[in-house]
Amino acid sequence: MTNEEILGVTVLNSWKIVINRFTKTISEFSDEQLQQQAAPGRNRVFYLVGHVIAMNDRMFPLLGLGDRLHPELDQTYIANPDRALGDPLSATDLRRAWSEVNNKLTTAFGGFTFEDWVQKHTAVSDEDFVKDPTRNRLAVVISRTSHASYHSGQAILAK
Amino acid sequence: MTNEEILGVTVLNSWKIVINRFTKTISEFSDEQLQQQAAPGRNRVFYLVGHVIAMNDRMFPLLGLGDRLHPELDQTYIANPDRALGDPLSATDLRRAWSEVNNKLTTAFGGFTFEDWVQKHTAVSDEDFVKDPTRNRLAVVISRTSHASYHSGQAILAK
């Protein structure tokens, strides 16, 4: 492997470790337990999972990977706080959406070359990217990895 | 900037964002509030902070950056669960150690070239590194960034 290939595999591994840990936590909750709150008065696990699915799903257009799979989750799990709206999907469908979105992203990241990683994401203009070339896909994926890890640490507290 | 330089700055930024967010959370807690638990029966914020300091401090030898600053924290904050031992330092000293360790790491990461990032960490043998070149410094730093983010998400629940 070249150093540039190593970079890609390293970033992909870091993403996989975080997503797999969160997946394991979710799999250990029953559908009823997904309704529990991370701490009293805080977000339910169901909300945290919906939120991370929606934020990760936004990476498809953001990284130029095509259309979103679940834009219908934004209203409940990004635009609003927990319990403001009812859950628009069942626990079974939530689990399915989690796998679907994250697996498809993992496959896409696995195909990125070093040049792909340092390309700009779609929310930054060509001009701004020239001024700040760190607004790239790598920054988005590491940031979303940290974001998933943040909520993974919360979800496990509901156990 | 070359693509290699962009990689380094991108990883450094991701680290800074997570550490700065955690620093902000800590700064908003009084010394008494640091004694609060993230959720009932779970780790106190004081323990979470001590734990992240100790784990980050381990990066100095792991990345070949010199001696640790606070090896004395491991016994209480890594080897044992919360409340098994008394806190060996005051809240003031905890806050100081937090800044000291993370600032020194941030400075060191800022000096890494692309070649430095993909070099092996010290806990892997030359032989094993040949087999798996993703056991490099980049993997360690992204992993510790996710680790800090995980506990940052917990600490904020005590607010």
A147: chain B residues, CB-CB within 8 Å: 149
pLDDT at B22 over 90: yes
Q: What does the alpha-carbon distance between residue B19 and residue B100 come to, in Å, rounded to a whole number?
A: 12
pLDDT at B1 over 90: no
Q: What does the alpha-carbon distance between residue A142 and residue A122 come to, in Å, rounded to a whole number?
A: 16
Q: What does the alpha-carbon distance between residue B103 and residue B125 come to, in Å, rounded to a whole number?
A: 29
∠B24-A20-A43 over CA atoms, to 5°?
45
B143: chain A residues, CB-CB within 8 Å: 14, 17
Instruction: Enter the tokens of residue B27.
Output: 């700064």
**pLDDT at residue A41, as a whole number:** 96
Cβ(A110)–Cβ(A95) below 8 Å: no
Percent of chain B with pLDDT over 90: 99
Average pLDDT over residues A57-85: 98
Task: List the alpha helices (DSSP H) in A28-125.
Answer: 45-57, 59-62, 74-77, 91-110, 114-117
- Count how many residues are written for chain B: 159
Structure confidence at residue A69 as a pLDDT band (50, 70, 90): very high
Percent of chain B with pLDDT over 70: 100
Max Cα distance, chain A (Å): 50
**pLDDT at residue A56, as a whole number:** 98
**pLDDT at residue B31, as a whole number:** 98
Instruction: Enter the tokens of residue B79.
Output: 């080897």
CA distances from A70 to A49, B8, B51, B56 (A): 13, 33, 37, 37
Task: Name the residue of chain A whose CA is nearest to B39's CA.
Answer: A39
pLDDT at B104 over 90: yes
CA B19 to chain centre: 8
| Pairwise CB contact (< 8 Å): A38 & B39 | yes
pLDDT digits over B44-97, tens only? 999 999 999 999 999 999 999 999 999 999 999 999 999 999 999 999 999 999
Give the mean pLDDT of chain A: 97
What letter would DSSP give residue A159? -
Rg (CA), chain A: 16
Average pLDDT over residues A58-80: 98
Give the mean pLDDT of chain B: 97
Structure confidence at residue A77 as a pLDDT band (50, 70, 90): very high
**pLDDT at residue A1, as a whole number:** 87
A115 in contact with B, Cβ within 8 Å: yes
**Amino acid identity, position A102:** N
Q: What does the alpha-carbon distance between residue A2 and residue B36 come to, in Å, rounded to a whole number?
A: 48
**pLDDT at residue B66, as a whole number:** 97
Average pLDDT over residues B131-145: 96
Q: What does the alpha-carbon distance between residue B48 and residue B38 come to, in Å, rounded to a whole number?
A: 9
A107 in contact with B, Cβ within 8 Å: no
Min Cα distance A92 → chain B (Å) is: 25
Average pLDDT over residues A90-113: 98
